[in-house]
């Protein structure tokens, strides 16, 4: 499904009917992928349940995501209600620096291990050095 810059970045559906909601960021320099990469909004930090679906499943970021039909949005909300939503934080870096994920991200109460909106997967893509 095609998403937009004003809501969810990317939404995929796997063969088991799970939706993968992806937030993508480009990080310049040699820093780690961290909590500061995910914006904090009035609805909550990106990739949290409140940010994506609102406190009453009324679709905060989902409702702002263009490129989806109403029926697709309803299908994604139903998948959330059924526990069929996974999240992915993808970080693209412009050079290899051996950087990883900061403890601040993995220990964050909502997003970290055991958190209420735990990130399902963190992907770091490091672009090759130019000679």
Distance CA 75, CA 71 (A): 6
Which pLDDT score is estimated for 114? 74
| Cα R_g (the chain), whole angstroms | 15
Sheet strands side by side (includes 121-126): 10-13, 19-27, 85-93, 121-126
Lowest mean pLDDT among 1-10, 24-33, 53-62, 103-112: 1-10
Residue 131: inside a domain? no
Residue 62: inside a domain? yes
Residue 42: inside a domain? yes
pLDDT for 64 beyond 60: yes
**92 vs 7 pLDDT, higher one:** 92
Residue 121: inside a domain? yes
How many C-alpha atoms does 130 have within 13 Å on its Cβ side? 1
Percent of the chain with pLDDT strictly greater than 90 = 22
Lowest mean pLDDT among 11-15, 22-26, 66-70, 92-96: 92-96
Structural domain span for residue 80: 10-126
How many domains does the chain divide into?
A: 1
Residue 3: inside a domain? no
Residue 17: inside a domain? yes
Residue 2: inside a domain? no
């Amino acid at each position: 499904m095609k998403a937009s810059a004003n809501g969810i970045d990317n939404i995929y559906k796997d063969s088991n009917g799970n939706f993968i909601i992806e937030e993508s960021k480009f990080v310049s320099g040699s820093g780690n992928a961290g909590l500061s990469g995910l914006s904090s909004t009035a609805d909550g930090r990106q990739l949290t349940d409140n940010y994506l679906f609102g406190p009453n499943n009324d679709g905060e970021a989902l409702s702002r995501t263009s490129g989806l039909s109403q029926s697709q949005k309803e299908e994604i909300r139903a998948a959330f209600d059924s526990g069929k939503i996974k999240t992915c934080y993808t970080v693209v870096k412009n050079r290899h620096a051996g950087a990883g994920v900061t403890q601040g991200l993995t220990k964050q109460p909502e997003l970290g291990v055991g958190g209420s909106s735990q990130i399902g997967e963190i992907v770091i893509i490091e672009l090759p050095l130019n000679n």
